[in-house]
Amino acid sequence: MSAAPGFFRRFILPGLAFKAVVIGGGYATGRELAEFFLPSGPVGGLMGLVLATLVWSLVCAVTFAFARVTQSGNYLTFFKALLGPFWPLFELAYFAFLFLILAVFGAAAGEIGAALFSLPGWAGAAALALSVLVFTGLGQESVEGLFKYASLFLYLVYLVFVVMCFSQFGGDILAGLDASIVSASWVPAGITYAGYNVVGAVIILPMLRHLTSQRDALVAGMLAGPLAALPALAFFACMIAFYPDIAGAALPSNYILERLGSPAFQMVFQFMVFVALLETSVSAVHAVNERISAVRPRPIGVRTRLAISAALLLAAMVIAERFGLIALIANGYRALSLMIIAVFVVPVLTLGVWKLVRMGRDASGAPSS
């Protein structure tokens, strides 16, 4: 008889997986933070990020609990249980999300290659695509390993980054907070930002296989918000030192790194950003592979996984080359957020909660899990 899953796999792995989805499209380069939160001012931006964290925790907790009750190991099963015959609405929104973020990541990888090595834009995008193919082709265990070890690296690099920023620019950060005028736009900014990123809660359903009870699901969901948001909050605090000039930078991360004056750490940080983009890309593509595998008589193999991943990546890279990083984020994310809120967030917090309560009452005569 195999041993029960440990604390890490039950409570921490889901949050790290959720962070892996959020980080690439949420704050790895800093461009998204600048787009959504800097217009609200330093303090308003921090308040918007805290609001987004609370939304993530709430939606993840309900999503994980609903997924466990309905035995949903992929987003197709989940939305058939949640929306019934209207489940294709999420599929449409998800593929819009998928192509947008892969296009954004291809453009961002190109920006990183150009900034560090003066490479053409396609070179960084190609390196990211090949890396995604490797991890998605190897399947579930490979993906879980990426989330575990890449997360340790990411948190460590962000810690060093924050320490360096506060040691050199701590006075500017505090001055920015003291002089800040809070704009009311932080509320819609926080909700919109949380809206498109929270789709990660259903992307990572394959990672919930280690949960043993509804308590596990709720605790893991509540922890997912802070695990995903802490690096973003730290990163935004560092950006305050350069407000408002940093708002126009294509790569705010590189803007700060150049001013820190450490070429070696700049290389390490940008490699970390590349890893963050890889994590999110792998998460999104792996979810499609698992969705397709769920409706096949037998689980799909390596060749099929590679073919699906390659087709998705190729289409996204064409979009990235056509539009560029700043335009994709400014024009695409807000529309996408409204779609995700409409077909996922609102239904899961209303219909999902109602179904959970009803199923709990139906099972009231049985031992609780």
**Residue of higher predicted confidence among 337 and 53:** 53
Is 173 strand, coil or helix?
A: helix
Residue with tokens 């802070």: 226
Task: Please name the fold of domain 7-345.
Answer: Amino acid/polyamine transporter I (1.20.1740)
Residue with tokens 């921490």: 12
From first CA to last CA, the distance across the chain in angstroms is: 20
| Residue 22 to residue 17: CA distance in whole angstroms | 9
Contact indicator for 211, 64 with CB cutoff of 8 Å: yes
Contact indicator for 16, 203 with CB cutoff of 8 Å: no
Handedness of CA 278, 283, 289, 293 (dihedral sign): positive
Q: Which of 106-115, 206-215, 305-314 has the lowest mean pLDDT?
A: 106-115
Contact indicator for 116, 127 with CB cutoff of 8 Å: no
- Cα torsion 69, 74, 75, 76 to 10°: value is -100
Residue 198: Cβ-neighbour burial (10 angstroms; 0-12, 13-18, 19+): buried
Q: Where are the beta strands (DSSP E) in the chain?
A: none
Q: Pick from 154, 133, 152: which is nearest to 286 by CA?
A: 133
pLDDT above 80: residue 317: no
- pLDDT band at residue 2, thresholds of 50, 70 and 90? low
pLDDT above 90: residue 184: no
Residues 6+ apart with CB under 8 A from 179: none
How many C-beta atoms surround the C-beta of residue 89 within 10 A? 16
pLDDT at position 109, please?
83
- pLDDT band at residue 17, thresholds of 50, 70 and 90? confident
pLDDT at position 368, please?
44
Tens-place pLDDT, residues 355-366: 999 987 766 655
pLDDT above 60: residue 262: yes
| Residue 324 to residue 347: CA distance in whole angstroms | 33
Q: Pick from 139, 146, 92: which is nearest to 293 by CA?
A: 139
Q: Which of 45-49, 126-130, 223-227 has the lowest mean pLDDT?
A: 126-130
Mean pLDDT of 324-343: 74
Tens-place pLDDT, residues 234-244: 999 999 999 98
In angstroms, what CA-CA distances link 155 with 142, 151, 232, 280?
20, 6, 11, 15
Q: Which amino acid is at 61?
A: A
Is 340 strand, coil or helix?
A: helix
Tens-place pLDDT, residues 69-88: 999 988 889 999 999 999 99
Token pair recorded at residue 87: 């489940």
In angstroms, what CA-CA distances link 87 with 62, 93, 147, 261, 347?
18, 11, 28, 51, 11
pLDDT at position 83, please?
95
Contact indicator for 348, 59 with CB cutoff of 8 Å: yes
pLDDT at position 288, please?
87
Q: Where in the chain are the domains?
A: 7-345
pLDDT above 60: residue 1: no
| Residue 91 to residue 224: CA distance in whole angstroms | 23
In angstroms, what CA-CA distances link 150 with 17, 108, 109, 361?
10, 19, 17, 41
Tens-place pLDDT, residues 103-115: 777 777 887 788 7
- pLDDT band at residue 326, thresholds of 50, 70 and 90? low
